[in-house]
Amino acid sequence: MATNIDSLQEIFILSRSSRILVSSNSNKVGKYQPLVQYSEVTKSPTDNLISNFYRSAETGKPMITFAIPILSENGNKLGMFATHLNLDRMDTIIREQAGLGETAETYLVGNIGSSLSRRNVFVSATKFGSEEFPDGIESQGINAAMNGKNAKGLYQNYKGVPVIGVYRWLEYQDLALLAEIEQTEAFAPARHLASSILLIGLTLALVMAMAMLLLGRQIVRPILAIAHTAKLVSKGDLTQKVPVLTKNEIGLLAQTFNEMIKQLENSYQHLSNYSHVLEVKVDERTQ
């Protein structure tokens, strides 16, 4: 009989009278082992190995047993071949985070108790019967998985902490497997990305605003210069010139405005000369 398999706690054969005939634990040979606790997993002679999660009548601790009946040629039950799993080893395998994150948790859940007081409990050698959850554990994911559903979603775990969870019902083991990680950790990269995008967006907006301000000044300054010169010209100061600051359309407008001022100055000068001639002729006629 094998005795060095870490995942198995004990391998044994029971007789019809519930006596252990052969066992990997030599101290158990010949002792009585309640056969009734395995009856649920041997509903028919054609059943394969099926697991059974229950509270041990001997220790009061959780047990998972795989069992199959040993039948005679005519189908009569002669005994049972069974093995107890090592739940400590199962904890090591199932609860290993495997790089999911600091708050990640994977665990098995089973249903235990009578038909009137059944409750969901951890399938764990260390957390079973925890004083923190004396009435069992409940959550949207656990309840859905225990009802045979396989899915994922956002919900609160058995501690009331918001998590992202994936749950699966293990049909042939009558257990639920859940893997969960807190939403605060799961969404941290998304929040960081959103913050980075917001910061980049604000930076680009500021750069664009500065660029528009500088561009606006380059466009407005020549126009303001033309307007200022036009105001002085309207008051009769024909000595003003509009500074040509650019070579685009606004610069061309400034040059045209300067030409208009020059023409206006020439016209004013001709008018002044003509007025002087008229004054001379009036004086001559008067004399």
Give 104's Cβ-side CA count (13 Å radius): 14
Terminal C-alpha separation, the chain: 155
Residue-level pLDDT at 126: 63
Q: Please state whether 191 falls in left (phi above 0), alpha (psi between -120 and 50) or beta.
A: alpha
Residue-level pLDDT at 18: 78
Percentage of the residues of the chain whose pLDDT score is greater than 70: 78
3-state secondary structure of 82: strand
Residue-level pLDDT at 6: 63
Above 70 in pLDDT, residue 201? yes
Q: How confident is the model at residue 271 (pLDDT cuts 50, 70, 90)?
A: confident
For the residues 117-143, what does the mean pLDDT come to?
Answer: 75
Residues 30, 4, 90, 46: what is their CA dihedral angle, to the nearest 10 degrees?
A: -60
Residue-level pLDDT at 2: 46
* Average pLDDT for the chain: 77
User: Cβ neighbours of residue 123 under 8 Å, at least 6 residues apart?
Assistant: 53, 62, 64, 87, 90, 107, 108, 109, 110, 175
| Segment of 108-112, 147-151, 219-223 carrying the highest mean pLDDT | 147-151
Q: In this structure, which CATH number among 1.10.10, 1.10.287, 1.20.1260, 3.30.1560 belongs to the domain 189-286?
A: 1.10.287
Distances in whole angstroms, Cα of residue 121 to Cα of each of 1, 9, 54, 130, 152:
32, 21, 10, 9, 20
Q: Are 137 and 118 in contact (CB under 8 A)?
A: no
What are the residue ranges of CATH 1.10.287 in the chain?
Answer: 189-286
What are the residue ranges of CATH 3.30.450.20 in the chain?
Answer: 8-85
Q: In this structure, which CATH number among 3.40.50, 1.10.3470, 3.10.20, 3.30.450 belongs to the domain 89-186?
A: 3.30.450
Q: Which long-range contacts (CB under 8 A, 24 or more apart) does 51-58 make?
A: 51/85, 51/172, 51/173, 51/174, 51/175, 52/174, 53/110, 53/111, 53/112, 53/123, 53/173, 53/174, 53/175, 54/112, 55/112
Q: What is the pLDDT of residues 51-106, one digit of tens each?
A: 567 776 666 667 777 778 888 888 787 888 888 877 777 777 766 655 667 888 88
Q: What is the pLDDT of residues 23-36, one digit of tens each?
A: 888 888 888 776 55
The CATH fold assigned to 8-85 is Beta-Lactamase (3.30.450)
Which amino acid does the sequence have at 187? F
Place of tokens 């293990």: 170
Above 90 in pLDDT, residue 162? yes
Of 282 and 142, the structure prediction assigns the larger pLDDT to 142
